[in-house]
Structure 1
Amino acid sequence: MRNAFAVTVGLVVAGLVVFLLYILGPQFFTFPDGANPMDPDSIKQNMHLIPSGAMVLVIVAHCFGIIGGMLASTAVSEKSLLPAYIVSGIIILGSIGSSFVMSHPTWSIFAGMISVIGAFFIGRKVAINRLNEE
């Protein structure tokens, strides 16, 4: 039961981290006229006009979401890495899936795949260190 709660907490934390970084995009990057950064359909239709920096910020958001979610789930679980692995797997699959659904450019898809897998290994190291502290 504790591990199920740990997964839930990890997903909530990961989602919040990703969302907070997503909302920074329009603060730093000018989106095309008519493109609403909070509307997935609008983003999909205007993907070819979205600044590259905004796409990089999305990749960074997913990476920090994975690490934050893994750390949060491990803190709640206190004994197992399984919740962290489940959280990271869900975020990785969601990240890769959304890249294809939103018609991201090829470079963004590959960079995203490589970076979220790297984030998993960083998150794993942080989670292991967290478990070893207790």
Structure 2
Amino acid sequence: MTKDIIALLIEWDPATGKRAGNINPKDPKLQCSGWQNIDIVPAVELRLVEDDRDLSHYKGIKGVTLLEGRDRINAVIDDNFPSIISIEDELLYTEHFREQMGNKNIKISSLPDDRTERLKLLKDKHHIKGIREIKPMKV
């Protein structure tokens, strides 16, 4: 019988580094593989529990959610950790964007003000090259 995967969803303050439940971010058996979202308040991070420690003391602690099972953890990843959209190749992006502005009649004024939303729209709708989407890793 295989042991179920367990994780903690933890609220934290990026300004101080303090985690709910006084969780130690340097604990080697609580792994955070890039699952942090500092764009929301409070910020959150997901940490996989890699040992058999007693987690009962986290139950009922404000800002700490105990997650059990791959499906539940992946659902929380989907809900809390958005993809990162960035320009992977500046030259390719710039040249292709200029070319497509004329071909597809893309108006700068019609693009979203938010950089992430703008890049996602240019990538998904207008198929502008040089834009990369990095999706959060699943367990």
Task: Give the structure-1-normalised TM-score.
Answer: 0.26
Higher strand share: 2
Compute the TM-score of the two structures, normalised by the length of structure 2. 0.25
* Structure possessing the higher relative contact order (Cα contacts under 8 Å, 6 or more residues apart): 1
Bigger radius of gyration = 2
Bigger helix share: 1
